Amino acid sequence: MDSHILDFVKLIRRKYVTVGSKLKPLDMAQIASFLTMDVITDVAFGQTWGCLEKDEDVFNWFESMEQFLPIAIRTATIPWIANLFLFSIPFVGKMIMPSDKDEIGPEKLVGITKGLVRKLFALKDPGHARDI
């Protein structure tokens, strides 16, 4: 955790310290989100996505969530729609649910998780891994 805080501070010092009259605005919500994602992925997978290091939305996670959440909220308020698409018409559910084949957003997280779980179960003693 300490290394993530240091990465956070290094990013601010590297890119956002205003010198003289050249203003370098900082979107604190964005880099706080990057810090959160790096901590979560490090705890869960034993490695970070590197959002702080790159100072970017790695795998377009946050952008995907901004697009997906309004749809998910609307669908959740009308449960029969979710049931219709996910259970009554399965091919529609396959099109809208995350897949491990995509390279961005929640789909990328599913793919990374599946890959790490495969590696974990391939170990001789998977109980000693320091991740999920």
Q: Are 29 and 86 part of one and the same domain?
A: no
pLDDT computed for residue 90 by the predictor: 67
Q: Give the residue-averaged pLDDT of 74-81.
A: 78
| Contact present, 72 and 51 (Cβ < 8 Å) | no
Q: Are 108 and 129 part of one and the same domain?
A: yes
44-46-49 Cα angle (round to 5): 80
Q: Are 32 and 75 part of one and the same domain?
A: no
Q: Are 52 and 1 part of one and the same domain?
A: yes
Q: Are 14 and 78 part of one and the same domain?
A: no
pLDDT computed for residue 132 by the predictor: 61
Q: Are 71 and 47 part of one and the same domain?
A: no
Compute how many other C-beta atoms are within 10 angstroms of the C-beta atom of residue 88: 10
Domain that holds residue 34: 1-56
Any idea which residue has 């961005």 for tokens? 104
Query: Residue 53 CA to chain centroid, in angstroms?
Result: 15
Query: Per-residue pLDDT tens for 52-72?
Result: 999 999 888 898 888 888 877
* Predicted confidence (pLDDT) at residue 87 exceeds the cutoff of 80: no
Q: Which two tokens stand for residue 56?
A: 């970017």
The domain total for the chain is: 2
Q: Are 33 and 78 part of one and the same domain?
A: no
Cα–Cα nearest to 104, from 68, 129, 54, 52: 68
* 3 state DSSP class of 73: helix
CA 10 – CA 87 distance, rounded (Å): 48
* 3 state DSSP class of 21: coil
* pTM for the full predicted model: 0.72
Query: Per-residue pLDDT tens for 9-49?
Result: 999 999 999 888 888 999 999 999 999 999 998 988 888 98
Q: What percent of the chain has pLDDT over 70?
A: 82
Q: Are 131 and 67 part of one and the same domain?
A: yes
Q: Are 68 and 52 part of one and the same domain?
A: no
pLDDT computed for residue 18 by the predictor: 87
Q: Give the sign of the dihedral formed by CA 97, CA 102, CA 104, CA 108.
A: positive
pLDDT computed for residue 131 by the predictor: 60
Q: Are 16 and 75 part of one and the same domain?
A: no
